[in-house]
Structure 1
């Protein structure tokens, strides 16, 4: 249902234009903030979750191996004659 009143039609056009402008400003502000954050954190190295989990598993395995070797050394030392 269209209004025959030109004042109401102009107000609707104005409201639509304002909504579009606000949406554009919001989008531009969001993109600007993202870009600033990227620039600020540019020197920081981040790792992915997959890389972190891989290194964590490697460290766990190395720790287990070190513990096993420590136990073997202790057993061998226990077999040595006492001085």
Structure 2
């Protein structure tokens, strides 16, 4: 009967070693997959989120400035048309 507990101890030791080996294998596999994914992503020339947000903000400001410039140009063209009408309008002779 003394052999039986030792057998279970040996079996538990083997199972513990296998579990430890599988844990190490899992961690190594995880590191390899992460390295491959990082390598693939770096070759895609992706933009980081903060850089995209900055570019979006710049585009928004540029669009607003363009709209302001278009409105200002329309007012200037309207004033110019009014001035041209005033200059070319016949003056009444008294």
TM-score band by shorter chain is: 0.7 to 0.9
**1:68 aligned to 2:68?**
yes
Rounded Cα–Cα distance in structure 2 between residues aligned with 1:69 and 1:26: 60
Residue by residue, what CA displacement relative to the aligned partner does 1:44-83 show, whole Å, maximum 9, x if unpaired? 2233322221121111111100000000101111122368
TM-score (norm 2): 0.73
Rounded Cα–Cα distance in structure 2 between residues aligned with 1:63 and 1:78: 23
TM-score (norm 1): 0.82
Higher relative contact order (CA closer than 8 Å, sequence separation 6+): 1
Q: State the Cα distance separating 1:18 from its structure 2 match.
A: 0.9
Structure 2: segments with no counterpart, 5+ residues:
86-94
Rounded Cα–Cα distance in structure 1 between residues aligned with 2:79 and 2:44: 52
How is 1:1-83 mapped onto 2 (pairs within 5 angstroms)?
A: 5-81=5-81
The structure with the largest alpha-carbon Rg is 2
| Number of residue pairs aligned between Structure 1 and Structure 2 | 80
Query: Which has the larger share of helix?
Result: 2
Rounded Cα–Cα distance in structure 2 between residues aligned with 1:50 and 1:28: 31
